Amino acid sequence: MAQKKVLLKERLILSYISVVFISLFISILFSYTLFILTVNKRLDPEITGAKETMEGRISELMEKSLIFTDIISREKEALSFLKNELSRDGTIEDLRRFNSKAGLDILQILDQNGKVLLSLENPSVEPYSKINDNLVQKGLRGYKNSSFQIEDGKPSIVSIVPIQENGKTYGALLGGFTVTNQLLNKIEGSLHKKISVFDLNGYLFATTIEDKNGVRVSDQRIDQNTLIKLKEGQKFVRARVNIEDIRYRVLYSMIGNFEGKDSFIIMIALPLETIIADNNRTIGILVFANLITVVIALSFAMKNSKDLIDPIYTIKKGTEIVGSGNLDYKINVSTDDEITDLANSFNDMTKRIKTLLDEVSDEKNIASTERNKFFTVFEGVLDGILTLDYDRRITLFNKAAEEITGLSSKDVLGKKCDEVLLFFKNKVRLPSSEFCTLKEADKDQTIFSDNNLKLVTSKKDLFVSLTSSVIKEGKLANLGCILTFQDTTRERELEEMKLDFVSMAAHELRTPLTSIRGYISLLEPKIKGIINENDMKFLERIDISASQLSTLIENLLDVSKIEHDSLEIEVKKEEWVEIVEASVEGFKDLAKEKEIKLSFKEPKSTIPPVAIDKFRISEVLSNLLANALNFTNEGGEVTVTIGIDNGFIKTIIKDTGCGIPERAIPHLFTKFYRVTGILEKGSKGTGLGLYISKSIVSMHGGKIWVESKLGVGSSFSFTVPIFSMAEATKSSSL
């Protein structure tokens, strides 16, 4: 069953009502809390006031007791009685007459030993059987004194005055008041609260509390927990008690005598019915006021919700129209508030969406056109092109790629590159992770290039030149790399034929050339001095040309061996510093002849032995030194330095020659390449020296590179491995 939708108008009305009722609840809760706090706050000062009133009243009674007792003692009757000059009955009659004005509850005459000889007591007060000895002794020693004390279980105010004549004390007169219900009535009249007095054990002395019949209650007693708290020093103890079915909120407190000792406990009581009635009246007024507020709020909510909801319904209708596709629709709302701003913002948004959709449509058409152009070019390119995603799966495969590999697009699209295209380098499998690393690039660049790879597919085997590139947006477009390749099988076959021819020609030329050089070396010393000087120069030039031709033949044979993987090296432990020094020393005469400074800088640290083929690496050194001297002008400088670099020994041959054009540097180490321009004038080589040098260094596991600036000079560097025990028996071939 579908859940019923609650309309916004209903929500607003409910929210108004909720606010009002929550306010009502908070008001009632606040009133009750205030009631509890008010009771406590009212009782605290009232119990303090009651104590102060009680203590003040006691002070007044003590003063009154002392004054009245002193006045009576001055009369001659008490002295005459002690001197046996007046009878007992006459003395009692006189004392009653005097006490009728004083109103003392007790009046006694004591002899010199403190013995009560005569006692005049209030009929409503139980007679005293014992008076405080300390008080009596003070009176008999001639001192007037008053005290608040418990006598015979009754709280009393007692004064004593000595009866003297001519400095002699005949006895004492003792008078006082007892704390009774009548005394509490007088105190209650000033407090307007009920009062009870208890002894230190919690038993009732006196009270002003009456039952429903107007009779003073007599069975009150303080509970033990309250007594313990008061005796432990707690100033006030609050409690609720029921006395004759009437609930009271009470406070208990200790009252002490004037010697600093606790004497009795006072209880101040407030009937809760009076306070609750006042609080209920307050709550009733609040409830009535809140109900009126509810009625007013509902009226306001109905009107306000209509003013608020109608524009929202208008906006809702507008959004439905726009959502159906009518972007020209405008919402008209005029409330001069945030709803109008919302409608205007929606209209502006609709306008911008329409503009953006138009722009997107135009961009889509342009993109479609560009896509068509791209695929036209993509399919028309003669080079094979394919793309790999970040899972190295083939996503594009052009027609040229189909023709070169013999595979159709449907055979390869969606498949991993290593499943359908197998690349080999020198008979070693080259996985796609080598030429498609999937690393993010910060710019478009080529990450792999090799002109001599073998490609094996299910249809054919061939040789290709492969280039791998990446674009900086590759991650976003899921484009791992772009592979471009050309079929070099025919070129490789022609290169093989050319190398076979060169190798055959070199072998055929080597034998007669060796004979020519041998005969010249035999003939030259025999005819020296016989033929003239010019003829001798001709013979020397023949020898030089034969030597150059022999070098060319050897280079051609080395190239043939490199291309056929038959050039061998024999690695041994060698002292590299000695080899470099010997090579430099061998070119000193040529450098001196060309007036070029050739130097070898001794390394600052010890150079360890290297693992090399001394003969082949010496060829590399000789080739680089010869090139440096050949392309350095008179007065220039060629410097050779060596050092340790990450487990290899790096050798640098730096000259101050004319430098190499930047465009020529990528081709320097390829076969038969010769730099055109100004360098061509001084070059007499075949373009094979650097190619052979690179091959020899690579066979040793090292690298060779060049840094050059036109007009400043060049710096050729190469590395060879440091010798280790594993190299001791190593012999490798390319």
State pLDDT tens for residues 371-403. 667 667 667 678 888 999 999 999 999 988 998
HEC profile of 634-650? CCCEEEEEEEEECCEEE
Write down the H helix ranges in 413-532. 417-420, 432-435, 474-477, 489-527
CB 684 within 8 A of CB 694: no
CB 565 within 8 A of CB 733: yes
CB 630 within 8 A of CB 683: yes
Rounded to whole angstroms, the Cα distance separating 71 from 86 reads 19
C-beta atoms surrounding 494 within 10 Å: 11
The least confident of 107-116, 130-139, 315-324, 505-514 is 505-514
The least confident of 136-150, 281-295, 634-648, 708-722 is 281-295
The domains of the chain, with CATH numbers, are 71-103+106-178 (3.30.450.20), 327-380 (no CATH), 382-566 (3.30.450.20), 568-732 (3.30.565.10)
State pLDDT tens for residues 670-698. 877 777 655 554 455 667 788 888 888 99
Give the residue from 187, 191, 195 showing the smallest Cα distance to 217: 195
Local confidence band at 339 (pLDDT 50, 70, 90 cut-offs): confident
Give the model's pLDDT for residue 156: 75
pLDDT at residue 30 tops 90: no
Local confidence band at 172 (pLDDT 50, 70, 90 cut-offs): confident
Rounded to whole angstroms, the Cα distance separating 335 from 333 reads 6
The least confident of 108-117, 459-468, 499-508 is 499-508
Would you say the C-alpha torsion 95, 101, 106, 109 has a positive or negative sign?
negative
Q: Which residue has the higher pLDDT, 321 or 419?
A: 419
The least confident of 66-70, 219-223, 300-304, 449-453 is 300-304
Give the model's pLDDT for residue 10: 64
Phi, psi of 324 (to 5 degrees): -80, -5
- State mean pLDDT over 161-182: 80
State pLDDT tens for residues 235-258. 888 888 888 778 887 888 887 654
Give the model's pLDDT for residue 636: 92
Q: What is the pTM of this model?
A: 0.39
Residue 339: both structure tokens together: 């709803």
- State mean pLDDT over 215-226: 82
- State mean pLDDT over 630-645: 91
Give SS3 for 583.
helix
Q: Which residue has the higher pLDDT, 512 or 614?
A: 614
Q: How many percent of the chain have pLDDT more than 70?
A: 75
Residues in a beta bridge with 256: 262
The string of DSSP codes covering 61-99 is HHHHHHHHHHHHHHSHHHHHHHTT-S-HHHHHHHHHHHH
Most confident of the following: 160-169, 358-367, 512-521, 615-624 = 615-624
